[in-house]
């Protein structure tokens, strides 16, 4: 069956929104056309589709962070703190961190030792 490109875009955007899709690969479960047809029309390059997927990711992350913030679970609280921490705090929480040069810093008694 031949599909009109604009119709495919509309169907894709509707499926992304209605099903809160966060990965493009999930889309093909919800649309009547094949993955090959989608890619042949180069729909993966369209900003509207990329933005819809990214918006759902941001919404999902935001919901999770809100839940984590009110959680009494220490593991969840540490995960959230790591997300919000600066580089020094993150390194201290991990007790060791690898910098962009591949050097490992081990933190103990607030002193750093390069390995």
**What residues make up the domain containing 27?**
5-72
User: Looking at the 3D structure of the chain, how many domains does it have?
Assistant: 2
* DSSP count for the chain of H helices, then E strands: 5, 3
- Provide the residue-wise pLDDT of the chain in tens; the chain has 115 residues: 678 999 999 999 999 999 999 999 999 999 999 999 999 999 999 999 999 999 999 999 999 999 999 999 999 988 888 888 888 888 887 765 566 676 655 555 454 444 4
How far is it, in rounded angstroms, from Cα 43 to Cα 36? 11
**50, 13: one domain:** yes
**95, 64: one domain:** no
How far is it, in rounded angstroms, from Cα 86 to Cα 66? 20
Q: What single DSSP character describes residue 101?
A: T
Within 8 A by CB and 6+ apart from 3, the residues are 33, 37, 41
Question: What confidence score (pLDDT) does residue 115 get?
Answer: 41
**47, 101: one domain:** no
**42, 95: one domain:** no
**61, 9: one domain:** yes
């Amino acid at each position: 069956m031949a599909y009109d490109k604009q119709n495919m875009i509309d169907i894709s955007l509707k499926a992304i929104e209605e099903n809160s899709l966060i990965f493009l690969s999930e889309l093909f479960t919800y649309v009547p056309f094949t993955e090959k047809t989608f890619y042949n029309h180069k729909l993966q390059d369209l900003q509207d589709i990329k933005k819809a997927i990214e918006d759902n990711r941001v919404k999902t992350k935001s919901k999770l962070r809100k839940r984590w913030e009110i959680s009494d679970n220490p593991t969840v609280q540490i995960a959230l703190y790591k997300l919000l921490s600066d580089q020094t705090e993150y390194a201290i929480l991990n007790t060791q961190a690898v910098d962009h040069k591949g050097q490992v810093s081990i933190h103990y008694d607030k002193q750093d030792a390069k390995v």
